[in-house]
Structure 1
Amino acid sequence: MRELLDAVADGSLSPAQAEAKLKGYVTGEAGRFDAARQQRRGIPEAILADGKTPAQVVALAETALETTDRALLTRLSEDQFEALEEAIPETVPDATFDRWSSSLLIRTPDYERPSLEATIGLVTAGTVDQPVADEAEAVCVDAGATVDRVDDIGVAALDRTLDQVDRLREADVLIVAAGREGALPTVIAGLVDTPVIGLPVSSGYGYGGDGEAALSGMLQSCTVMSAVNVDAGFVAGAQATLIARAIDAARTDGTEEKK
């Protein structure tokens, strides 16, 4: 406790950083940011921008950068993104921005991105599924995994899927995003021996076109796989990251034992 107080007094630690160390979270005008989630859960807290004002998004991003040296944001509007581009460089002049459609990863110069010896395959059935897959990719890249992206191989032309089977089998874990009837994850899960996470997307039209048909198809899959909620790209990326981290730990332990 005394060390924290001394650090705040001499300016080497901000009040927000001290609060994060003491409580695990920081309270600001825009809400509470869970700064300790990475250490507790292995996955950082993502800032869901949907439903927040640009000012609230900026405030939470600044808190994340101050306490964890990075901010992971999802479901951003253009107004929110522009507000971040304008405000963040004033508080973190050398911050880097990596954007995937409506998802964004901001890092300070002090942030050291981890590196995992594991590959996450990220597959989409069609172009319309890519924004949801982008959200999953942002999580995986932040975790330090290698991401092998394969887009637009839906089952309407099954040859597109079969052409990629050897590549898919090389991944340590697969995220497969699909809308409509959600058949692609089921097909792929029957062709590979790696864990498959089905990511249903609210694409398509007519009965079940809001993602319900895709989710139902994945839950009823005859092949062994798991499924997350509709459009839950962050959750799919987080699940794949936890698997990739376990694989990396096993490989690292195996290498050390051989030495």
Structure 2
Amino acid sequence: MNPAKIRELLEQVQSGSTTVEDALGTLKDLPFADLGYAVVDHHRALRLGVPEVILGEAKTAAQIVGIAGELVRTGQNVLVTRLDAAKAEEVCAAVPAFRYHAMARVATFEQTPIPQLGTRAVAVVSAGTSDLPVAEECGETLRMLGAKVERIYDVGVAGIHRLLHRRQVLDAMGVIIVVAGMEGALASVVGGLVESPVIAVPTSVGYGAALGGIAALLGMLTSCASGITVVNIDNGFGAAFAAARILRAGART
């Protein structure tokens, strides 16, 4: 249940086209629905402006389908993250309207228009092609959150001229998300070039002492570029959600 649906329901009660009893029936599932294995938070869209998102990684296909069905039943769009191909095949067979994005490892179900967040886009900047799964998770999440997305891929510091070539595009962005593994230096470079908020996503890409993304994480946390925000390793979803919060706050001012 989102703010637009609640407003529509209240206006129907006010006009007399819906009875108070019928409205109470519609609202009976707020604030949540207990499925036994999951308690679906129907109130989240009212609090945050975004419905509950399903983390698919440790859930069974049946659990994902059950939670998604509850969100769909109440008129909400659905985003499932960290969904591998085998599990996605089962989910999409059960709910054919799901669309699976293999690179991003996300599935989406869209049944209502997604309100757009402001006029400025969010840039998703990746250091290398190996970072694309995290970058695409970020991009697809941003799309479901209503943000315009500008993808700038494979512009890492090993060939810094590739990034500088896109300088004017970066300057026009509302928020910039930098996705990088190895030593994570790209976030510092971008943070030193632009005025917009920069969110850094360390990835688990890299050899030996990269330590599964810890080297990039520590490098981003200790960046000499002031004011960079850093999320957890491979957390493209978290970076996208943070960017959407920034855009939403800016739209209210």
- Assess same fold via TM > 0.5: yes
Structure 1 vs Structure 2 CA RMSD: 2.0
Deviations 1:156-176 (A, max 9, x none): 111111111111111010000
Letter in 1 for 2:149: V
Which residue among 240, 245, 250 is the counterpart of 1:247? 250
The list of structure 1 runs, each at least 4 consecutive aligned residues, that deviate by more than 3 angstroms after superposition, is 3-9
Q: Compute the displacement of 1:118 (Å).
A: 2.6
Evaluate the alpha carbon distance shift between residue 29 and residue 165 of structure 1 in structure 2; reply closer, same or farther with a 3 A threshold: same
Q: Is the 8 A contact 2:185 2:219 kept in 1?
A: yes
Deviations 1:117-155 (A, max 9, x none): 231111110111111111221221112111011111000
Q: What pairs up with 1:106-117 in 2 under 5 angstroms?
A: 106-108=109-111, 111-116=112-117, 117=119
- Please say if 1:84 is aligned against 2:91: yes
Secondary structure of 1:216's aligned partner? helix
Deviations 1:190-220 (A, max 9, x none): 0001000001111111013301000000000
Unpaired runs of 5+ in structure 2? 1-18
Q: Normalising to structure 1: TM-score of the pair? A: 0.83
Evaluate the alpha carbon distance shift between residue 44 and residue 100 of structure 1 in structure 2; reply closer, same or farther with a 3 A threshold: farther
Q: Normalising to structure 2: TM-score of the pair? A: 0.85
Secondary structure of 2:95's aligned partner? helix
Q: Is the 8 A contact 2:141 2:241 kept in 1?
A: yes
Evaluate the alpha carbon distance shift between residue 4 and residue 141 of structure 1 in structure 2; reply closer, same or farther with a 3 A threshold: farther
- Please say if 1:41 is aligned against 2:51: no
Aligned-partner Cα distance in 1 for 2:102–2:132: 10
Identity across the alignment (%)? 38
Residue in 1 that maps onto 2:159: 157
Q: What pairs up with 1:1-259 in 2 under 5 angstroms?
A: 6=22, 13=26, 18-19=28-29, 21=30, 24-89=31-96, 95=97, 97=99, 99=101, 101=103, 102-108=105-111, 111-116=112-117, 117-224=119-226, 225-250=228-253
Q: Compute the displacement of 1:42 (Å).
A: 3.1
Aligned-partner Cα distance in 1 for 2:115–2:251: 11
Q: Is the 8 A contact 1:35 1:68 kept in 2?
A: no
Letter in 1 for 2:47: R
Aligned-partner Cα distance in 2 for 1:183–1:243: 23
Letter in 2 for 1:25: F
Q: Is the 8 A contact 2:88 2:100 kept in 1?
A: no
Q: Compute the displacement of 1:7 (Å).
A: 5.5
Unpaired runs of 5+ in structure 1? 90-94, 251-259
Aligned-partner Cα distance in 2 for 1:7–1:244: 33
Residue in 1 that maps onto 2:4: none
Aligned residue pairs: how many?
A: 233
